[in-house]
């Protein structure tokens, strides 16, 4: 159905073999020569874009988790709120926040190009712009999410947002359990870029991750005492340096990792963790 | 103005040039869940024309099972897309 796909914006701009790089350079140099803008102005614009990072989104989410009024405002009028917070939205598409709940999990894509809330989160990750992600996440979102380590129960509605027009979407992930005592800054550290796109949930808090095995979880029999494994996550040494690929907390949110380490059994006295 | 909850069909028509309706949604039926405001027509903006008057943009929710043969996910899975009014045909029957 792509027979009408004749518009000229550069889908393949970050592929140096596409020919867009020399084209971009030629046009830029011409415009500078003609005095339309200066090279310094371009540099300042690039610096401004580079100063935007997913940490902006993480802070918004952490504040929404701790401040119900802020959250209500964020859900109702994200663009207005962000403008007040000093984000430059004047020449940008508008922003909307979609909330993950017990029954709905949101994930964001732009199938037509690579629309992304750049005015808040900065540049999108490379995979977000790839045809593989853009075409597959609408067709088989659960399979794609599983590849990100996110497996959702069948009764959770997966809601894909295709940013086809003038809105850009940011996902408000669910607040992980066991984070009741954490302050905003610590909470923000749990909100990854992928959580803001919806390909992953927010990370579990660090103490829960560390407690995972300490509280009585052990890999299946015959594994826990194998020599040469990390005492915490039972991974084998990886790579040339023989370093352990530790379980940097992702073990809670990566069912794939659990499979890799074999079935887990729960020993007595650990029920409170779950 | 299309009311929230109205069942709509996305036009299945050829458009020579830039437009913001993905091919996989053309001819498909969904439900309007929100009016997102009015925006300049991207089909004109793309060619340096003003795109006025602004057009209403609607959030339309599709059932994934309606979009894809043998969809492998849950029956409640949905897809939201933002579609301009001149691509939407309201249907008489409401769900």
Residues of B within 8 A of A160 (CB-CB) are 64, 77-80
Nearest to A164 among B14, B22, B37 (CB): B22
Burial class (CB in 10 A: 0-12, 13-18, 19+), A273: middle
pLDDT at residue number A234: 53
Q: Among all residues of chain B, which has the CA nearest to that of A139?
A: B68
Chains A, B: CB contacts within 8 A come to 95
* Predicted ipTM of the assembly: 0.95
Nearest to A112 among B15, B22, B74 (CB): B22
Q: Which residues pair with A106 in a beta bridge?
A: A159
Q: What is the mean pLDDT of each run of 10 residues along chain A (274 residues)?
A: 47 62 92 95 92 96 97 96 90 91 97 94 94 95 94 94 96 94 94 97 79 48 42 51 45 39 40 36
Nearest to A1 among B24, B64, B79 (CB): B24
Residues of B within 8 A of A111 (CB-CB) are 22, 24
In angstroms, the CA B30 to CA A62 distance is 34
Mean pLDDT on B2-23: 96
Burial class (CB in 10 A: 0-12, 13-18, 19+), A55: middle
In angstroms, the CA A98 to CA A57 distance is 13
Cis bond before residue A92 (omega within 30° of 0) = no
Residues of A recognised as catalytic? 110, 113-115
pLDDT at residue number A236: 53
pLDDT at residue number A226: 38
In angstroms, the CA A226 to CA B76 distance is 44
The pLDDT confidence band at residue B52, using thresholds 50, 70 and 90, is very high
Closest-CA residue to B30 (of B52, B54, B61, B1): B61
Terminal CA-to-CA distance of chain A, rounded, Å? Answer: 47
pTM exceeds 0.90, yes or no:
no
């Amino acid at each position: 159905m792509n027979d009408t796909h004749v518009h000229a914006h550069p889908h393949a701009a970050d592929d140096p073999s596409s020919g867009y790089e020399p084209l971009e350079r030629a046009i830029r140099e011409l415009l500078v020569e003609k005095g339309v803008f200066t090279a310094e102005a371009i540099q300042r614009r690039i610096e401004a874009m580079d100063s935007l990072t997913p940490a902006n989104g993480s802070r918004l989410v952490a504040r929404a988790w701790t401040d119900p009024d802020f959250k209500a405002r964020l859900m109702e009028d994200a663009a207005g709120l962000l403008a007040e917070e000093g984000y430059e939205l004047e020449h940008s598409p508008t922003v909307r926040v979609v909330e993950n709940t017990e029954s709905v999990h949101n994930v964001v894509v732009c199938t037509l190009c690579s629309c992304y809330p750049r005015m808040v989160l900065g540049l999108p990750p490379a995979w977000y712009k790839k045809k593989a992600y853009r075409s597959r996440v609408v067709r088989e979102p659960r399979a794609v999410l599983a590849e990100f380590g996110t497996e959702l129960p069948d009764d959770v509605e997966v809601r894909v947002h295709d940013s086809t027009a003038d809105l850009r979407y940011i996902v408000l992930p669910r607040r992980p359990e066991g984070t009741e005592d954490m302050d905003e800054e610590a909470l923000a550290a749990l909100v990854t870029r992928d959580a803001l796109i919806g390909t992953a949930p927010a990370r579990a808090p660090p103490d829960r991750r560390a407690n995972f095995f300490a509280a009585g979880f052990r890999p299946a029999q015959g594994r826990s005492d194998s020599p040469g494994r990390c005492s915490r996550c039972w991974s084998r040494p990886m790579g040339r340096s023989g370093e352990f690929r530790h379980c940097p907390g992702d073990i809670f949110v990566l069912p794939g990792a659990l499979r890799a380490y074999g079935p887990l059994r729960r020993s007595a006295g650990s029920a409170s963790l779950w | 103005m299309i009311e929230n909850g109205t069942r709509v069909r996305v036009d299945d028509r050829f458009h020579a040039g830039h437009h913001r309706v993905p091919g996989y949604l053309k001819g498909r039926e969904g439900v309007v869940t929100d009016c997102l405001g009015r925006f300049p027509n991207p089909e004109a903006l793309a060619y340096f024309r003003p795109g006025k008057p602004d057009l209403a943009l609607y959030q339309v929710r599709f059932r994934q099972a309606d979009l894809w043969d043998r969809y492998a996910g849950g029956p409640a899975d949905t897809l939201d897309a933002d579609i301009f009014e001149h691509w939407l045909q309201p249907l008489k029957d409401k769900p």
